[in-house]
Amino acid sequence: MAEFPSKDWKDYELLDSGAGEKLERFGGYVLARPEPKALWDKSLPEAEWRRLSHTTFTPGAGFGKAGKEDSGTWNRLKKMEDQWWIRYTLPSERSDSGGFGGNAPRETSPSGRGASLDLRLGLTSFKHVGVFPEQAPNWDYIYRQTRMLGQKLGRAPRVLNLFAYTGAASLAARAAGADVTHLDSVRQVVTWARGNMERSGLDGIRWVVEDAMKFARREARRGNRYDGIILDPPAYGHGPDGEKWKLDECLFEMLRTVGEILSPQDAFLVLNLYSNGYSALLGETVVRQAMRTVSLESGELALRDKFDKALPLSIVVRMTR
């Protein structure tokens, strides 16, 4: 099953996809970027892609190298800002509960939207812009789940976001009333996330620059527990002190450690995986084996372009206790 961002998200749309690329509008700017999963033909002619684009991305020397495949150069075709902002509106209590329970690809309900997040974008040397728009259904899920937990527990749920990047998931949990710990190994993106929090009118997030495995193990030794844990681990990475992360070798151990710091009841976990070759079933199995008795749902997060072509980009496993 697949989930897509809400059609009412006015600051983002996938205009076209194909031939290993995607054409996206973020706010007032249109970007053309490589996308290996876009195996089909483009619907718009090349001339129209170039006419619409403010900038295009050309892969560099790292193309095809593990951990460096997204490096390259942006080629500006029109005047645009180095940094700009978009807004995402979270669901209100009136919107549907979401999930993968249906028999067809679903989109987050466009009705009854609530709190808003402001997210800064910028052109990085790794083709990324500071937000992964296909993650919007996860933000909605985290927001809803955190609100429900807060009502059930009668206190602010404790939520830990590991490999947290620029923090949209952290902001969703905080907007829902959680006591949030945001961890990433790169200080610059933690600073980026703090700016997103402040621009969104939020405060109180705990910022941690550290290796995720080290932090989780230390929390386990201390007996600390969280009511919600979010993980979006990369295929390859390094901690601030050079610690090596390789998804295939570290994922199961990380999940077992996370199992020790996740509350034994009234808790949730969100695992997102971008690694090629991983399936929703594989993700579900590894979570089930690491966590033992759990309630799971799994599927794909995807984007749909203006020509109704569905572009699957990641798999997600959501667990509740």
For the stretch 187-208, pLDDT in tens is 999 999 999 999 999 999 999 9
Q: How far apart are CA 303 and CA 135, in angstroms?
A: 10
Q: What is the pLDDT of residue 234?
A: 85
CATH code, domain with 208: 3.40.50.150
End-to-end CA distance of the chain: 22
% of the chain beyond a pLDDT of 90: 77
- DSSP line for 148-203: HHHHHHTSPPEEEEES-TT-HHHHHHHHTT-EEEEEES-HHHHHHHHHHHHHTT--
Give Cβ neighbours of residue 155 (< 8 Å, ≥ 6 apart). none
**Domain range for 258:** 131-320
- Using DSSP, state whether 77 is helix, strand or coil: coil
Q: How far apart are CA 68 and CA 15, in angstroms?
A: 27
Q: How far apart are CA 88 and CA 48, in angstroms?
A: 28
**What's the burial of 187, exposed, middle or buried (CB within 10 Å: 0-12/13-18/19+)?**
exposed
Q: How far apart are CA 57 and CA 128, in angstroms?
A: 10
Tokens 């329970």 — which residue?
Answer: 101
Instruction: Output the CA angle 227-232-238, nearest 5 degrees.
Output: 115
- Domain contains 24: no
pLDDT tens, residue by residue, 2-47 = 999 999 999 999 999 999 999 999 999 999 999 999 999 999 999 9
- Domain contains 41: no
pLDDT tens, residue by residue, 255-285 = 999 999 999 999 999 999 997 788 999 999 9
Tokens 């404790």 — which residue?
Answer: 158
Confidence band (pLDDT; 50, 70, 90) for 100? low
- Domain contains 11: no
φ and ψ of 285, to 5 deg? -65, -45
- Using DSSP, state whether 270 is helix, strand or coil: strand
The count of domains in the chain is 1
Of 241, 247, 318, 239, which Cα lies nearest the Cα of 278?
Answer: 247
Confidence check: pLDDT of 245 > 80: no
pLDDT tens, residue by residue, 218-233 = 999 999 999 999 999 9
- Domain contains 119: no
**Burial track 146-171 (b if 16+ CB lie within 10 A, e otherwise):** bbbbbeeeeebbbbbbbbbbbbbbbb
Q: What is the pLDDT of residue 109?
A: 39
How many CA atoms lie less than 13 Å away from 183 in the CB half-sphere? 21
Tokens 């080290």 — which residue?
Answer: 214
